[in-house]
Chain A
Amino acid sequence: MKNPLDSLGQTVLLGFILALVAHLLIRAIA
């Protein structure tokens, strides 16, 4: 399987998904 980090677009998309995960995590902890 191709590493998604080889694609700049997929790297940025994963970053935005992780930002959403971070938001949910902050709300869940606090």
Chain B
Amino acid sequence: MFVTHEWWEFAFRWLHIISGIMWIGLLWYFNFVQTPSMPKIPDEQKPAISKVIAPTALFWFRWGAMATIITGLILAGMSGFLGSALKLGIGDHVAKNTAIGLGMWLGAIMWFNVWFIIWPNQKKVLGIVNATPDEKKKAGRVAGLTSRTNTMLSVPMLYCMASASHYFAMG
């Protein structure tokens, strides 16, 4: 029977990677494609992005982030390194746990940014909650800069996540 503890652990790793691609793929779509393209789109066509594409992309983006952190925490718990990783492996001298722990903290900061900074501000920008034009402008700036911060953090986060299993695990 293939449904062993090892299989479930792998299943959560698989779901973690699927949700992580959904999340970071859309983060990179926003930063590498949508935001730089907006100034080149004629004003009358901009609502196609702001009213249709962006809200749908933001839905899968924030729920992708949620699924990634939940499956990641379950995976870390099942793998037995959650406690060591959360304290960055300090005192344990296991490089793999330090690497995955640093990746987990970077991912957790990014998840917090999505749910508590980017999404509340995007709701003002997209008109889901009421805001004055000044508040909308400020919210757009805060959401944009936080999204850029997450793009920056995604590079070391993926370095930590991938190196934990494929480099630091080698000793």
Chain A residues packing against B (C-beta within 8 Å): 3, 5-6, 8, 11-12, 14-16, 18-19, 21-23, 25-27, 29-30
List 20 extra interface pairs beyond A5-B152, A15-B156, A26-B160, CB under 8 A: A8-B36, A8-B148, A8-B151, A11-B148, A11-B152, A12-B151, A15-B154, A19-B155, A21-B156, A22-B99, A22-B102, A22-B106, A22-B159, A25-B102, A26-B95, A26-B163, A30-B93, A30-B98, A30-B99, A30-B168
B31 CB contact (under 8 Å) in A11, A16, A19, A21: A11
| Chain B interface residues toward A at CB < 8 A | 31-32, 36, 88-90, 92-95, 97-99, 102, 106, 145, 148-149, 151-156, 159-160, 163, 168
For the residues of B in contact with A, the DSSP-based class is helix
